[in-house]
Amino acid sequence: MCKHSRVGWVVAAILLLAACSPRDTETSRAVPVPNIDAEALEAADAANWLTYGRTYDEQRFSPLDVINTDNVKDLGLAWFADLDTARGQEATPLVIDGRIYVTTAWSKVKAYDGATGELLWQFDPEVPGKTAAKACCDVVNRGLAAWGTRLYLGTLDGRLIAIDRETGEPVWSNVTVDQSKGYTITGAPRVIDGRVIIGNGGAEFGVRGYVSAYDAEDGRMLWRFYTVPDAPGRNEAAYLRAAESTWTGEWWRLGGGGTVWDAMAYDPELDLLYIGVGNGSPWSQTYRSPDGGDNLYLASIVALRPATGEYVWHYQTTPGDVWDYTAAQHIMLADLVIDGETRKVLMQAPKNGFFYVLDRATGDLISANNFVPVSWATGIDMESGRPVEVPEARWDKTGVPTLVTPGPGGAHNWQPMAFDPDSGLVFIPVLLTAFPYILDANWESKSQGFNTGADFAAGAMPANPQIRSEIMAATTGALVAWDPVDQQERWRAAFKGPWNGGVLATGGGLVFQGHAPEAFAAYDAKTGVELWSTNAQTGVIAAPMTYFIDGEQYVAVLAGWGGIYPLATGVLAEVAGPVRNVSRLLVFKLGGGAELPPPQPEVIAPLNPPPVTGSEEQLAEGARHYGRFCGVCHGDAAYGGSLLPDLRRSSMLGVADAWRSITLEGPLEDRGMVGFAETLTADQVESIRLYVIKRANEDKALEDEE
């Protein structure tokens, strides 16, 4: 038997049994895949990386062991490529026959020679800049799918595009969403038997979630699976009619949410496609479904037939979600020995802080345990499979402002986990955060900005150094090694900031992960001891991957700080220190001797605001509008991050006319700053200006005290 073949790792084990000599990596080199089909995707040879999570089971484990615990200390930069988008880089590259294909922010695609880094082609789908205002969480993209001789890309503005892998030329393009609504695509498509599966995001923007399948050959839509019911009487499918009674009020007017914005996995043997469903739109049930209810299929894992989109089973992680506890997080399949029996399981660590192990044939709950401290529930009832809620955590029902952990960023977000079949551990990029949920008593749905029903202004961080430092100290992150059989933590690497990167596990006994402010590191999978690290000059949030060309194993990762956390969390985004965005593809190999250029000094404009002039009423109104329409991009309490203009430092602060023109008419729309004329009046945007002036003066006073 090969060292890595064991129960619980079916696809790779079959490959390795067939490929035992002389060594895994030698054999993997000899499997060119010019035409990717079901067989190639299921075989998943180790030289290539053919689908988002490497294999259909999305384990993000590579059997490659050229780089291992003994020699990882000699890992060096083989080559790097600067990217032309200084925004969050979240993609996992694909590697096919020696070429590496990556997506970047703004849904661009680039192809390089995997050994030399030579740029072979690039494709820019020219996403309109104004689309940024519909993206909850930065203008990111998480990757491609491959089938036949093509690549498949979902673009931020909702298109699915087939690209010729050899030339980078688009072959077909199909709009998958109503572009007049708040839909975006950031997730990677998957391809199952010639069907390209794609979801979308937008549950903060009043949309109704779904996943669709398109014919890989000609782009025809084959089926669409909605995750929440339409109005009663308008639902044909039985699973949607069954869901109607779990909703009240007129949810369909508000969209309902339930977007499938990231996770998918596939079991070829059971022929089941698993999708992760997101939060409700709006967050508050008081508005979304006033008499409560489970609100199916929000925050659920749903199993479908990939050929037809037919519903098979679901498991709801957070019934009647009001905390933005999406179940869109990484879905991973494995075969685990539990109580002496080999079980086909599905694993997920959704935002709500519990680690779930389900029977993936039936959706039955096998076990669940919290992997972080949680305040919204005391556990999962194994009889019903439902959380045992803490009633006070239902902030929108009580109407009482409530600090809940985890917050809407989750205990785990989109950052992919990894599984090591040798140790049996799942590695989770964990966030330890809390959030003050406060009902917006006067909420109404708007065509622009977040539609949550929560009052972000009332929960904004005060300019109080003690409160700030206490909350910052409680806001951390960790790479956690989790035993999914015993539902216990085995080791953790703790970080200063919560927003750490996706994970890769390898046959070399290694776990690779990046974090803020600028490290990319390798850990011993069994012990968590850091064996190697390098300075990436920026925060790394994307997941690393690995491939093999001509006797060399390479480890690649996209570097580039961004995503929701640096945009929206204000001062908390600086928990790990100020983090810049330097967007690059970094590729490492043993003995690699390439060097990054020295980092450019960062120039930050001083805080130099005009004096505070607004009346108390104007400042309060400005705070309210800022919290609802500005803060998720420009930072909580106007404390800006490194990605977008820090409004406290803006030269427009003292120029009321220019401020009004930019915020209402949208002359900077191509850069993502849309005009808000359909939503806000001139007096209201002036109140926002006065509020930002006040905030800038408060923070300047704090700086002067230091």
The residues annotated as belonging to the active site are: 324
Q: How far is the CB of 276 from Ca ion (least distance, A)?
A: 12
DSSP code, position 187 = S
Query: Whose Cβ is closer to Ca ion: residue 11's or residue 135's?
Result: 135
Query: Whose Cβ is closer to Ca ion: residue 200's or residue 279's?
Result: 279
* Peptide bond connecting 498 to the previous residue in cis, omega within 30 degrees of 0: no
The four Cα atoms 150, 154, 158, 163 give a dihedral, to 10 degrees, of: -20
Query: Whose Cβ is closer to Ca ion: residue 353's or residue 528's?
Result: 353
Residues of this chain, 512-531, that bind Ca ion according to CB under 5 A: none
Q: How far is the CB of 262 from Ca ion (least distance, A)?
A: 11
Query: Whose Cβ is closer to Ca ion: residue 262's or residue 489's?
Result: 262
Q: If binding means CB under 5 A, how many residues of this protein chain bind Ca ion?
A: 3
Taking alpha carbons only, the member of 329, 328, 357 closest to residue 209 is 328
- The DSSP bridge partners found for residue 145 are 152
Tell me the C-alpha to C-alpha distance, in Å, between residue 180 and each of 176, 226, 436, 606: 12, 18, 32, 39
Rounded to an integer, what distance in angstroms lies between the CA atom of residue 197 and that of residue 309?
A: 10
**Long-range contacts, 164-167 (Cβ 8 Å, 24+):** 165/96, 165/99, 165/101, 165/111, 167/121
Q: How far is the CB of 406 from Ca ion (least distance, A)?
A: 13
**Segment interacting with Ca ion (CB under 5 A) among 23-31, 184-192, 324-332, 630-638:** 324-332
Q: How far is the CB of 457 from Ca ion (least distance, A)?
A: 19
Q: How many residues does the chain have?
A: 706
Rounded to an integer, what distance in angstroms lies between the CA atom of residue 100 and that of residue 49?
A: 9
Q: How far is the CB of 324 from Ca ion (least distance, A)?
A: 5
For residue 554, give every residue at least 6 positions away whose Cβ sits within 8 Å of its Cβ, in sequence order, or none.
78, 114, 115, 546, 547, 548, 587, 588, 589
Tell me if 267 contacts Ca ion by CB under 5 A. Answer: no
**Segment interacting with Ca ion (CB under 5 A) among 197-205, 346-354, 509-517, 588-596:** 197-205
Rounded to an integer, what distance in angstroms lies between the CA atom of residue 653 and that of residue 692?
A: 8
Taking alpha carbons only, the member of 351, 344, 171, 337 closest to residue 261 is 351
**Long-range contacts, 24-30 (Cβ 8 Å, 24+):** 24/63, 24/64, 24/65, 24/507, 25/64, 25/65, 25/66, 25/548, 25/553, 28/63, 28/64, 28/548, 29/548, 29/549, 29/550, 29/551
Q: How far is the CB of 328 from Ca ion (least distance, A)?
A: 8
Query: Whose Cβ is closer to Ca ion: residue 186's or residue 279's?
Result: 279
The residue type at 300: S
The four Cα atoms 83, 89, 95, 96 give a dihedral, to 10 degrees, of: -70
Residues of this chain, 272-301, that bind Ca ion according to CB under 5 A: 279
Q: How far is the CB of 24 from Ca ion (least distance, A)?
A: 40
Query: Whose Cβ is closer to Ca ion: residue 285's or residue 513's?
Result: 285
Query: Whose Cβ is closer to Ca ion: residue 326's or residue 538's?
Result: 326
Q: How far is the CB of 326 from Ca ion (least distance, A)?
A: 6
Residue found by looking up tokens 């806001």 in the block: 475
Q: What is the contact mask toward Ca ion in residues 199 to 228, using x (rule: CB under 5 A)? A: ----x-------------------------
Q: How far is the CB of 203 from Ca ion (least distance, A)?
A: 5
Query: Whose Cβ is closer to Ca ion: residue 355's or residue 450's?
Result: 450
Tell me if 324 contacts Ca ion by CB under 5 A. Answer: yes
**Segment interacting with Ca ion (CB under 5 A) among 84-92, 221-229, 316-324, 453-461:** 316-324
CA atoms within 13 A on the CB side of 286: 19
Query: Whose Cβ is closer to Ca ion: residue 300's or residue 423's?
Result: 300
**Segment interacting with Ca ion (CB under 5 A) among 84-92, 196-204, 296-304, 676-684:** 196-204
* Number of CB atoms found within 10 A of residue 534's CB: 18
Q: How far is the CB of 352 from Ca ion (least distance, A)?
A: 12
Tell me if 259 contacts Ca ion by CB under 5 A. Answer: no
For the chain, the straight-line distance linking the first and the last C-alpha, in angstroms and rounded, comes to 64
Look at the alpha carbons of 53, 304, 325, 373 in this order and tell me if their dihedral is positive or negative.
Answer: negative
**Segment interacting with Ca ion (CB under 5 A) among 229-237, 322-330, 336-344, 650-658:** 322-330
Is 512 within 8 Å of 493 (Cβ atoms)? Answer: no
Rounded to an integer, what distance in angstroms lies between the CA atom of residue 658 and that of residue 663?
A: 9
Q: What is the contact mask toward Ca ion in residues 348 to 377, using x (rule: CB under 5 A)? A: ------------------------------
Taking alpha carbons only, the member of 166, 164, 168, 204 closest to residue 186 is 204
Q: How far is the CB of 181 from Ca ion (least distance, A)?
A: 16
Burial of 700 (0-12, 13-18, 19+ CB in 10 A): middle
Query: Whose Cβ is closer to Ca ion: residue 155's or residue 279's?
Result: 279
What SS3 state is found at 44?
coil
Rounded to an integer, what distance in angstroms lies between the CA atom of residue 292 and that of residue 498?
A: 32
Query: Whose Cβ is closer to Ca ion: residue 56's or residue 183's?
Result: 183
Structure-block tokens of residue 263: 């996770």
For Ca ion, the binding residues (CB under 5 A) are 203, 279, 324
